[in-house]
Amino acid sequence: MSEDFLGNIAMLTHSLQQLNTSRDPIPTSKSRIDLSGTENINFCSNFDLPIQKSQPLVAKYMPNLNFDKPSNITYDKIPVVQMNPTPVISTERRKETDRLLSLDPVVDIHGKFKVDIKELLRIEDLIKEYNQLIKQLRAKKTKLKNNTINHMVKHDLEVATMPKNDKFTLVKVKSKLNPTTKARLPINLTNYFIQEENFGKDKAHELSKKIVSWINKNAETKEVHSLRRYKYKNKIKN
């Protein structure tokens, strides 16, 4: 930036400062400004905002220039800003910080297992209570059902009509018994050898016993995990 240019700016700023100090107080909005004595400068007649006293524009953006004496422009030294030094973290503390940040939160791997066990025990207790109630209801139902059938058979009744459009109808139902149960299989085999093979009763019984023993011995096995619940008589001490 040339010295002549800076001198011109300083003189212009000095003239504007003298103009500000010599004129009337700051006019309010919508008033007229008297600019007599200034030539070749045209301003709008009305200003929406009042004129405010402030530092020269050059002084605002160039604070290091001294405008007290327009003929002498001095440059002040730019002050050096002293920055606080960055704190030094010891190697040991940095390693400990990294170690703490890398740690995973404590997780109980048996957390869900514990919840499942508690829920399982609660469900088993409920089932036990319900089974006792169902057992009583079934016994009562069987007794009432037999009494109803016996009464209808005795009095030759086919239909027992009840309220709400419900009714019981007495019918005969045939169902096949399972021939391979533990009790029926030996009897059925003995009857087979007697009726179909014409074996004697003792020989047929011996053969049927031998076959049943072979079947039980060579029966297919299946291994699965199961839970058995035991209750301690005395509470366990931790």
Alpha helices (H) along the chain: 3-22, 57-61, 91-102, 111-154, 184-195, 201-217
Lowest mean pLDDT among 78-92, 110-124, 145-159, 220-234: 78-92
What is residue 100's predicted lDDT score, i.e. its pLDDT?
Answer: 74
Question: What residue ranges do the domains of the chain occupy?
Answer: 3-61, 114-172, 179-216
Q: Tell me the pLDDT band of 77, cut-offs 50, 70 and 90.
A: very low
- What mean pLDDT is reported for the chain? 75
Give residue-wise pLDDT tens across range 6-51.
Answer: 666 666 666 666 655 555 444 444 444 343 444 444 444 444 444 4
The per-residue pLDDT for 231 is 80
pLDDT at 137: 96
- DSSP codes joined into one string, 56-108: -HHHHH-TTB--SSTT---BPPPPPPPPPPPPPPPHHHHHHHHHHHHPPPP--
pTM surpassing 0.75? no
Q: Output the CA–CA distances (angstroms, integers) from residue 54 to 11, 26, 34, 70, 83, in the order listed.
A: 17, 12, 19, 18, 32
Give residue 223's pLDDT band: very low, low, confident or very high (50, 70, 90): very high
Please state, in angstroms and rounded to a whole number, the distance separating the CA atoms of residues 31 and 45. 8
Under the banding of pLDDT at 50, 70 and 90, the label for residue 97 is confident
